[in-house]
């Protein structure tokens, strides 16, 4: 799918994502758990509507990127509501760059499913994170359950076309192959959802 078509798909979904911010959902508990100790200078890629902002009250600065203007409009509102120092960037995470060792904490939630080249993005997340910093991931992908995996493979093309999202990525395989170490991991929902606490590996 062309990038501009992918942007349009996410623009269309922005209102629905924003509505979800105010609802109690399963992923809220996971986000709470993932961000328990988050502080310092934070980079969040593919920020969407700012769903994670309520957990950033200990941040010194927040840099947030998304290629959907509609998503960022809602993210701006969420930053104001939470009274946070957020700098929003409209741009493609796969094309942009930040200096090496820039951020104390680099965050990606539910975004690795969208990129044509998730390997490149993971490598960039590691580069942008300070050596002693942390990379926090909440991602979904291929189930550890064979039956559910079969179903995911069946519906993947349809979901990709409608929502811009790959259902069946091997998230753990991708992160293990990336220049980072998984320090802690939890897996939920038949192994489709992963909470990962990682540190960059700059060697």
Ligand X SMILES: C[S@@+](CC[C@H](N)C(=O)[O-])C[C@H]1O[C@@H](n2cnc3c(N)ncnc32)[C@H](O)[C@@H]1O
Query: Looking at beta carbons only, is 107 or 172 nearer to ligand X?
Result: 107
The yes or no reply on residue 56 touching ligand X (CB under 6 A) is: no
Among 42, 56, 109, 171, binds ligand X (CB under 6 A): 109
- CA–CA distances in Å: residue 51 to residues 62, 94, 110, 126: 13, 21, 11, 22
Q: Concatenated DSSP letters for 125-173?
A: HHHHEEEEEEEEEEEE---SSHHHHHHHHHHHHHHHHHHS--S---HHH
Task: Give the shortest CB-99-to-ligand X separation in angstroms.
Answer: 19
Q: Residue 50 phi/psi, 5° resolution?
A: 80, 30
Is residue 58 a contact partner of residue 85, using CB atoms and an 8 Å limit? Answer: no
- CA–CA distances in Å: residue 169 to residues 11, 165, 194, 199: 23, 10, 12, 21
Among 43, 56, 62, 68, binds ligand X (CB under 6 A): 68
Among 53, 74, 115, 128, binds ligand X (CB under 6 A): 115
What does the angle CA 72 – CA 47 – CA 93 come to, to the nearest 5 degrees?
95
The yes or no reply on residue 63 touching ligand X (CB under 6 A) is: no
Q: Which of residues 117-176 bind ligand X (CB under 6 A)?
A: none
Among 94, 151, 174, 189, binds ligand X (CB under 6 A): 94
Query: Looking at beta carbons only, is 31 or 130 nearer to ligand X?
Result: 31
The yes or no reply on residue 86 touching ligand X (CB under 6 A) is: no
Q: Which stretch binds ligand X (CB under 6 A): 45-53, 154-162, 185-193, 195-203?
A: 45-53
Query: Looking at beta carbons only, is 3 or 202 nearer to ligand X?
Result: 3
What residues make contact with ligand X under the rule CB under 6 A? 10, 17, 46-48, 51, 65-68, 71, 92-94, 109-111, 114-115
């Amino acid at each position: 799918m062309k990038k501009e078509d992918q942007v349009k798909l996410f623009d269309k979904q922005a209102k629905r994502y924003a509505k979800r911010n105010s609802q109690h959902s399963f992923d809220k508990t996971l986000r709470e758990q993932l961000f328990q100790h988050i502080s310092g200078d934070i980079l969040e890629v593919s920020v969407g509507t700012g769903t994670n902002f309520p957990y950033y009250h200990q941040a010194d600065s927040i840099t947030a990127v998304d290629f959907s203007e509609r998503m960022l409009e809602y993210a701006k509102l969420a930053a104001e509501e939470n009274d946070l120092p957020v700098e929003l960037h409209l741009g493609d995470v796969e094309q942009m760059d930040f200096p090496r060792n820039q951020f104390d904490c680099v965050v990606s939630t539910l975004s690795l499913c969208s990129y044509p080249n998730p390997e490149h993005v993971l490598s960039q997340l590691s580069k942008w994170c300070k050596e002693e910093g942390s990379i926090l991931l909440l991602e979904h992908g291929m189930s550890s359950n064979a039956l559910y995996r079969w179903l995911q493979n069946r519906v993947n093309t349809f979901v990709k076309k409608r929502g811009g999202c790959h259902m069946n990525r091997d998230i753990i395989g991708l992160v293990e192959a990336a220049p980072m170490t998984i320090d802690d991991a939890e897996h939920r929902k038949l192994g489709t959802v992963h909470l990962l606490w990682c540190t960059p590996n700059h060697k």
